[in-house]
Amino acid sequence: MRAALVSLTVDIAGRQYVLTGILYGIARCMLLWGAEVQVRAVKRGAKRVKFDAIKKRGEQWVRIRPALQIYSDSAVLVQPAVEDAWYLSNVSEDGVTLRSRDTQHSRRLGLDHVHHYMEDPEPNAIQTTGIVVLNVQLLIFENQLIVEPSPAPGQPLRTFAPARTRATLFSVATKAAAERALDRRRKEYAWNEGVREAQQAFDDFAPMLRSLESALSANSTPVPLQIRPSGKHSFLLGACGWFETWDWQQQAANHIEGAFLTIRKFDGPPRLPGTVTLREPRQLTVRQYRWDLVALDSARWVPNGRDDVSYTSEDLVTRELTELIERPLMRQ
């Protein structure tokens, strides 16, 4: 064999060299291809295992980690970790769909966006049954649900720098047309279904507060609340020594233009019709919100003078109650 090889080398040395190079290249390509096939098989196997684990938990309400972040239109972090229930559905080998119960935003995520699923058997205030740990951060910016890579599974995004597409004549014209359409829709909404929906949103406040009071008691962290109607479209809230009046006022019964929800905070029971107070309480803060469209099909509470932030009714009662509990009024 050696003699034949030597003879072949001697007789056509140049040809032998080329043939050796081709054979080496072919062998190397085969090895690399085999390794790639093996890696792909491992990835497919891991993906299949993840799919099998998650598909059993589809069609249920879950929490997510990292929790939702909300940014203002100027990309300032307004709410770093919003606890919300998300509906996990449409589980397939391609991905899953998550929909927020609070904001109704939804997003399709690839399975590689999901790190793992955790059971959550303990009862909680938002009535979820599990936790989905993500490799990405879900955030709301300009009322859009955006996906950004997170630094580690379940870890919140530390900085957010929104990428902007280069403005063109057509993109500017499209944006201007969308803004005009939203302005026209807001006018129609304020004089039509907005009247009923605003009133319903206000009427939801008191039941939501009672529900939160029950949830706190069930969690062995009771916070007694005083919730008392003080007018047709107003009520008094008392918690942790603080008192707040919530008033919804319309300029006319057939539209909500110029209508505001006003929340006044006092350091004691305020004077109300038919009540007697031992001392005149101090009014500490006044906040006003309007009920308005933030998108063509989505209305929320918008702070007066700030269009970059908006709240659902549940957002607002949770925010107010959290603030009262965090800083209780300490009486001397």
* Residue 142, pLDDT score: 86
Residues 223 and 239: beta-carbon distance below 8 Å: yes
Helix then strand then coil, in percent of the chain rounded to 5, is: 35, 30, 35
* Residue 319, pLDDT score: 87
Q: What confidence tens digit (pLDDT) does each residue in 230-257 have?
A: 888 999 999 999 999 999 999 999 999 9
Residue with more model confidence, 207 or 7: 207
Does residue 14 surpass a pLDDT of 60?
A: no
The DSSP-derived string for 174-199 is HHHHHHHHHHHHHHHHHTTHHHHHHH
Q: How confident is the model at residue 305 (pLDDT cuts 50, 70, 90)?
A: confident
Q: What confidence tens digit (pLDDT) does each residue in 311-322 have?
A: 889 889 988 998
Does residue 191 surpass a pLDDT of 90?
A: yes
Q: What confidence tens digit (pLDDT) does each residue in 246-299 have?
A: 999 999 999 999 999 999 999 999 887 666 667 789 999 999 999 999 989 899
Q: How confident is the model at residue 22 (pLDDT cuts 50, 70, 90)?
A: low
Mean pLDDT of the chain: 85
d(CA 327, CA 240): 8
3-state secondary structure of 106: strand
Tokens at 228, concatenated: 């008392």
Residues 194 and 299: beta-carbon distance below 8 Å: yes
d(CA 21, CA 171): 55
